[in-house]
Amino acid sequence: MDIIDLQSGCSGGAEAVLGLQPNSSISIAYHSLFGPHNDLLLLEVDEKFLPEILHQRVTLRGQPDEDAVLCTVSKTYAVKFVGTSNSVFLVPPTDKVSDLCNNKDDNMVVASVIKVAPGCMELVEVAPKLDKLKLLSQNPYGFSETADMDVSEEREKTRIGLYRWDDLVDRLQASDEELRMGLRSLSAIEIDGYWRILDDNI
């Protein structure tokens, strides 16, 4: 591909590249916003993941001191950066590039490159990290809680060290389905909105 002055052609977006026919070529140019764009990362995924991603059924989970994982509804994946020695050009969609066309048929279409990516992120399936479920053992549901409490302050004290579903999702690197399986393995139950394990003395 030739890198040319954008002023000599019509700015085209990703559609121009995707529409290329076999054995054809297209010229490229640096977009006016070309730069490192460290906030943009490429993620390489299998086609089976596309519906999950496009319909926002995936989440990134992990604490600030942990490597993030990507979770679908049922599985957990480590996110690994893989560098490449080849030039990977990031071409934004047409509505994200400057329209320099004069609506003339003789204008040459030029793909506008906004970033050269040094590599991409890849997904590797991993086992869920459920060890933090041991947090539930710090405050098991005991006999004293089976009696009614009339004082709201006492009720609030018993909630220290308790975890709702969203709390567990925020702390554990596991998909929703894997997390539910982990809770079942501990015979945990949801009581008043909190996930608890029963005291052995009950």
pLDDT in single tens digits along all 202 residues of the chain: 444 444 444 556 777 787 778 888 888 888 888 998 888 888 888 888 888 888 888 999 999 899 999 999 999 999 999 988 888 888 888 764 444 444 444 456 788 898 998 899 999 999 999 999 999 998 898 877 765 554 444 555 556 779 999 999 999 999 999 999 999 999 999 998 999 998 877 6
- Residue 156 maps to a domain: yes
Element (H, E) at 158: helix 152-158
Answer yes or no: are the C-beta atoms of 129 and 38 closer than 8 Å.
Answer: no
Query: For position 152, what pLDDT does the model report?
Result: 46
Give the structural domain span for 189.
131-196
- Residue 24 maps to a domain: yes
Residue at a domain's end among 104, 126, 148? 126
Query: For position 16, what pLDDT does the model report?
Result: 76
Name the pairing type of β-strands 59-61 and 10-12: unpaired
Query: For position 162, what pLDDT does the model report?
Result: 92
- Residue 181 maps to a domain: yes
**pTM for this structure?**
0.72
Nearest to 41 by CA among 97, 82, 101: 82
Element (H, E) at 118: strand 115-126
Split into its structural domains, the chain has a count of: 2
Residue at a domain's end among 100, 126, 152? 126
Residue at a domain's end among 105, 126, 147? 126
Read off φ and ψ for residue 184, nearest 5 degrees.
-65, -35
Give yes or no: residues 23 and 116 share one domain.
yes
Query: For position 170, what pLDDT does the model report?
Result: 94
- Residue 201 maps to a domain: no
Distances (CA, A) of 109 to 27, 50, 59, 100: 7, 29, 37, 10
Q: How many other β-carbons are positioned within 10 Å of the β-carbon of residue 176?
A: 15
